[in-house]
Amino acid sequence: MTRRLLGRLGAGLVVLWGTATLVFFVINLTPGDPAITILGGPDALPTPAVLRQVRAEYGFDQPLWGQYLHYLGRLLHGDFGVSYRLHQPVLKLIAGQFGATATLALWAMVLGSGLALLVALTTAKRARWLTELLTWAEVVLSSVPSFITGLLLLLAFSFSLHLFPSSSTHGWTSIILPTVTLALPVAGVLIQVLRRELEEILEQPFIITARTRGLSETGVRLGHALRHALIPTLTILGVMFTTLLSTAVVVETVFNRQGLGRMMSDATTNRDVPLVLGIALLVTSINILANIVIDFIYVVVDPRTERHE
Amino acid sequence: MSDLLSLSRPLPGLPKIGQLRSHLRGINPGLLVAGAYLTFLAVATIAPGLLASADPLATDAHHLFSPPSANHWFGTDENGRDVWSRVIHAARPSLLLGGAAALATAATGALLGLAAGLSPRLLGNVLMRLTDMLQSFPEILLVLVIISFWGANNATLLVALGLAGVPRVVRQVRAQVVTLQRALFIEAAITLGLPRWLIILRHVLPNAIKPVLVLFPLDIGWKITAVATLSFLGLGASPPAPDWGAMLAIDRDYVLNGWWLTAIAAGAITGTVLSVNALGRALIRRNEGHR
């Protein structure tokens, strides 16, 4: 198990190193002055002082391989450069916004999976019309873009009913509408997967055995079917978390909230390359880590997967 | 008399009414609506002038925020422009960019997947590790990174959106190619002495891209959503050119002046994505063998 963990971590590091390398060469091989690219493209018109500072910071006067080593060394020290719009180190900016987005994503995850569990457990293998209805509900949930869900919720609950604030980062009421917006697509996907699994499992012989022992329907579903249905769902959760972090880009803008996503979209608009890259690399690292963790939970929940390797 | 009798018999070659009905019953009514909506959008894309006669850019300072009426079916916006006309004219950029990006994804992914499956082991492995790297980047972030490099214009958007989703296609195609290489009919073709390129073109490629084609409509749906999302964030077509996402971003500030503006733009986007996805899912279900 430890060997496998080390192997996976190593592979993750290789992916990160490759991503960083790719980014480096894209910046350097883009036609034109790389310093200008970092400063926001040809329209940026930086002052000579700033230009000199960037050239020194990235070591653009050195040969390409020297620049590359310099760049990797800085990344290893957690130095992602300085945002040229906000005049602060990228890492410090990210640290300031990370908490708000992580809280939002976690709540959305809790709400989304709770909703999915409830709906899937109560509706799997029931009347035909219910299945039809849910199939359409799944299409709608996974089709409506998040920014539209968010706007509609704002229209209904903030502007018409005045139940929640339309834009704020503080107080527990401000997080409810963004959480719901993020949770709905999560629930949409999870319901699909869980229901498909449950419907297959509820036809297995061990379910019939459980029923012949006189277990109630609820007992069968909660005690026997659910556990087996959760295994394939785990794989999706890993993808889900990063999807949540990236959907935060949209939702935080709609609800005017502070956070990593909002910073990302603002930085893209301003073409603040160091900040955009810093956030992207950070989320990618989290993505890789999350997938490794889920791989291991997988083994714990279903020990057969390790023996197969 | 005999003439009358012969008329009461069904004409040869035409289906009986009952048959036709049972044929139509097989089609989900929701899918019919989706199909009709997409046909309408196709007309709006090819010839917007047919559906909307008003100039989408003409402003009218005397009629700001007028509610829907006979003159302006969807009312007017904050500059007095005809909303119906703007919604119709915005179909073309959204659908073309979304469709082109989905095509780019499928083509690039299929080519790379084919290459990864057919090339020697080492090269194939390198290609797959590169795919891993691309895949560990969440798609929206990848798109934003590319836009921050080269600015928001149609070419950049096409490259960025085209690249998002490529890893999935590469994996699918490569998996198919690897399985196909052991298939009996490929072996038969080799035994028959067919040249390698012909086997690849005639037998491997058509079978390998089938799963990609099945998911293609869903990918178009994803791309259209992404296009709308980006223009909503201010990273798409620049005003005053009509664009659903950008219209929504502006209308949001005028919710109190005219809530229908937000509803119309939101409805146009949602309807499109919903229709594409509904048809795409029907295709997947039919492919899996159950309706």
Q: Could you state, in order of their start, the residue ranges of all structural domains in chain A?
A: 2-76, 94-307
CATH of the domain at B210: 1.10.3720.10
d(CA B256, CA B276): 32
pLDDT for position A307: 57
User: For A16, which residue in chain B has the nearest alpha carbon?
Assistant: B133
- Asked if the structure places residue B7 within a domain, the reply is no
What residues of A are in contact with residue B150 (Cβ under 8 Å)? 30, 41
Long-range contacts of B20-23 (CB under 8 A, 24+ apart): none
pLDDT for position B170: 93
Give the structural domain span for B157.
68-289
Number of domains into which chain B is organized: 1
pTM for this entry: 0.83
pLDDT for position B224: 92
Question: What digits encode the pLDDT tens for the residues B113-156?
Answer: 999 988 888 888 888 888 888 888 888 888 998 888 888 888 88
Is the ipTM higher than 0.85? The answer is: no
User: For A132, which residue in chain B has the nearest alpha carbon?
Assistant: B28
- Asked if the structure places residue B210 within a domain, the reply is yes
Q: Is B248 on the interface with A (CB under 8 A)?
A: yes
The answer to whether A182 touches A146, Cβ cutoff 8 Å, is: yes
Question: What digits encode the pLDDT tens for the residues B16-27?
Answer: 555 555 555 566
Long-range contacts of A268-272 (CB under 8 A, 24+ apart): A268/B144, A268/B147, A268/B148, A268/B233, A268/B235, A269/B233, A269/B234, A269/B235, A270/A40, A270/A85, A271/A40, A271/A41, A271/A44, A271/B148, A271/B151, A272/A40, A272/A83, A272/A84, A272/A85, A272/A86, A272/B148
Query: Which residue, chain included where needed, has tokens 């604030």?
Result: A165
Interface mutation target, options B125, B146, B149, chain A, most CBs of A under 10 Å = B149
Q: How close does chain B come to A7, measured CA to CA in Å?
A: 15
Size of interface A-B (CB pairs under 8 A): 122
Interface contact flag, A247 B270, Cβ < 8 Å: no
- Asked if the structure places residue B242 within a domain, the reply is yes
Q: Is A113 on the interface with B (CB under 8 A)?
A: no
Interface contact flag, A287 B149, Cβ < 8 Å: no
- Asked if the structure places residue B252 within a domain, the reply is yes
Q: Is A148 on the interface with B (CB under 8 A)?
A: yes
Q: What one-character DSSP code corresponds to residue A63?
A: -
- Asked if the structure places residue B104 within a domain, the reply is yes
User: For A151, which residue in chain B has the nearest alpha carbon?
Assistant: B252
Facing B145 at nearest CB: one of A30, A250, A277: A277
Q: Which of residues 52-91 of A touch B (CB under 8 A)?
A: none
> Which amino acid belongs to residue B167?
P
Query: Which residues of chain B fall below pLDDT 50?
Result: 1-12, 291
Q: Is A37 on the interface with B (CB under 8 A)?
A: yes
Nearest CA to A174 out of A294, A88, A71, A259 is that of A259
Interface contact flag, A276 B145, Cβ < 8 Å: yes
Q: How close does chain B come to A119, measured CA to CA in Å?
A: 21
Q: What is the mean pLDDT of each run of 10 residues along chain A (309 residues)?
A: 78 83 77 70 72 75 80 83 81 90 90 91 83 83 87 83 69 83 88 87 87 85 83 76 81 88 89 86 85 79 63
* Token output for B83: 């909303």
Contacts for A99 with CB less than 8 Å, ≥ 6 apart? none
> In the CATH scheme, what is the code of domain A94-307?
1.10.3720.10
pLDDT for position B28: 75
Distances (CA, A) of A244 to A107, A250, B141: 10, 10, 12
Beta bridge partners of B76: B82
